[in-house]
Amino acid sequence: MLIRIVRMHFKEGNEKEFLKIFELHKISIRNFSGCTHLQLLKDLNDPLCLTTLSYWKREENLENYRQSELFAAVWKKVKPLFSKKTEAFSLEEAETISGN
């Protein structure tokens, strides 16, 4: 499983536009082949910073999404809203420690 984290910083006021775009496309992204989890996270200290967390069965699934018409359409709308370059990380689980 691949875990993808994308941290985005928005120009003031543009975070609201991003939320509208996310609302329109979140089900299609989540249902994209190989995506098993999609989550939107808000930074505790910076209201202009949002992060997506997604789980993908394989790296190829994420790459297929990144090459898709869906990604191109969403990215075209979202990219101009940023105040600086996004930070993206692909990770894989090394270990899980569960609590009581």
- The residue extents of the domains of the chain are 2-92
Would you say 5 and 89 are in contact if contact means Cβ atoms under 8 Å apart?
A: yes
- Region 11-27: what's the mean pLDDT? 97
Would you say 88 and 75 are in contact if contact means Cβ atoms under 8 Å apart?
A: no
Reduced to 3 states (helix: H, G, I; strand: E, B; else coil), residue 72 is helix
pLDDT surpasses 80 at 62: yes
Output the pTM of the full model. 0.92
Task: Looking at the structure, give the CATH architecture of the domain made up of residues 2-92.
Answer: 2-Layer Sandwich (3.30)
21-46 per-position pLDDT tens digit:
999 999 999 999 999 999 999 999 99
